[in-house]
């Protein structure tokens, strides 16, 4: 089992390149329709979401469990986050009208008891009638198709997380070779698949891929053993589409209001009922 605290610690210096890849500025802007202040961001990272919401006029607080992320939020954006675990928030019941659980908080977890604890804690600190918005990773459909084709997402919806990071550090020629050899397809078939994916990707997805490359390049420059940030990654994590997200919360007996599907994330909305204690 991966040491997630160590994972976040080692990746903190490079998160600036990839923090816009999932629950990003565009997605958070769309979610403001469902928000009332004050707002809490769980998994505040380096302060991106807190900053964007503050710029939109919201009163926002943020927490993160990783001290280095908190240091970067202060250094990069002048934002003071609170160090706290999402399953043990240091706030009174009903303190916030909206609680956002950012990507990376629950969707890297297989332990459904832990997920339930985080969601129940988010609901506890949310006022009656307020919303909890829990985001999960989602790939653009064209990217997901390619990932399934080359086995980075399995038929059982398991995301080969570490392998994805390993692939991202490779040159296009090296990626092409792996697709051809690992999947026993023709040279033409592998070439067409990769070319078609690249040609029709939105600019945002192309930029995300470029940023992954920049993060790896910086790690190679700074670390004596850059492979360590790959080896600390979880080997496998669940890849939850909208249907699996609905089934997850049904199993956890947490009433889901709706799901909102964006290009780079899926957001589960929970409205706290007055009967919830």
Higher pLDDT, 160 or 182: 160
**Predicted TM-score (pTM) above 0.85:** yes
Judge whether residue 68 has pLDDT over 90. yes
- How many Å apart are CA 81 and CA 96, to the nearest integer? 16
Measured from the Cβ of residue 257, the count of other Cβ atoms closer than 10 Å reads 15
Higher pLDDT, 163 or 276: 163
Confidence of residue 277 (pLDDT cuts 50, 70, 90): very low
Higher pLDDT, 31 or 166: 31
- How many Å apart are CA 26 and CA 263, to the nearest integer? 10
pLDDT of residue 276: 41
> 58: left (phi > 0), else alpha (psi -120 to 50), else beta?
beta
pLDDT in tens, 187-235: 666 566 666 656 556 777 777 778 888 888 899 899 999 899 999 999 9
Q: Which domains does the chain have, with CATH numbers?
A: 4-138+241-271 (3.40.50.150), 141-231 (no CATH)
Best mean pLDDT range from 15-19, 117-121, 142-146, 261-265: 117-121
pLDDT in tens, 227-258: 999 999 999 999 999 999 999 999 999 999 99
Tell me which residue of 65, 16, 34, 11 sits closest to 262, measured CA to CA: 34
Give the residue ranges of DSSP H helices in the chain. 4-11, 25-31, 48-55, 67-77, 112-124, 141-149, 161-168, 172-182, 187-200, 203-222, 228-231, 242-251
pLDDT of residue 190: 59
């Amino acid at each position: 089992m991966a040491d997630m605290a160590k994972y976040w610690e080692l990746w903190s210096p490079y998160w600036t390149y990839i923090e816009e890849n999932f629950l990003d500025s565009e997605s958070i802007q769309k979610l403001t329709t469902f928000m009332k202040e004050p707002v809490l961001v769980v998994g505040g990272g380096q302060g991106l979401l807190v900053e964007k919401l503050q710029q939109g006029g919201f009163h926002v607080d943020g927490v993160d469990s990783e001290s280095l992320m908190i240091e970067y939020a202060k250094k990069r954006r002048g934002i003071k986050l609170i160090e706290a675990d999402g399953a043990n928030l240091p706030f009174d019941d009903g303190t916030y009208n909206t609680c956002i659980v950012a990507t990376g908080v629950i969707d890297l977890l297989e332990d459904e008891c832990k997920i339930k604890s985080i969601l129940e804690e988010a609901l506890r600190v949310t006022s009656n009638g307020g919303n909890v918005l829990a985001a999960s990773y989602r790939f653009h459909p064209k990217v997901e198709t390619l990932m399934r084709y080359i086995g980075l997402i399995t038929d059982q919806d398991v995301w080969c997380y570490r392998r994805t990071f390993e692939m991202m550090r490779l040159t296009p020629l090296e990626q092409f070779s792996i697709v051809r050899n690992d999947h026993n397809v023709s040279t033409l078939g592998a070439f067409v698949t990769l070319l078609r994916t690249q040609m029709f990707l939105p600019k945002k997805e192309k930029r995300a891929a470029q940023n992954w490359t920049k993060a790896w390049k910086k790690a190679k420059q700074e670390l004596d053993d850059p492979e360590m940030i790959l080896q600390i990654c979880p080997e496998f994590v669940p890849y939850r589409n909208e249907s699996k997200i609905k089934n997850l919360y049904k199993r956890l007996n947490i009433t889901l209001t709706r799901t909102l599907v964006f290009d780079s994330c899926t957001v589960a909305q929970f409205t706290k009922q007055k009967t919830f204690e």
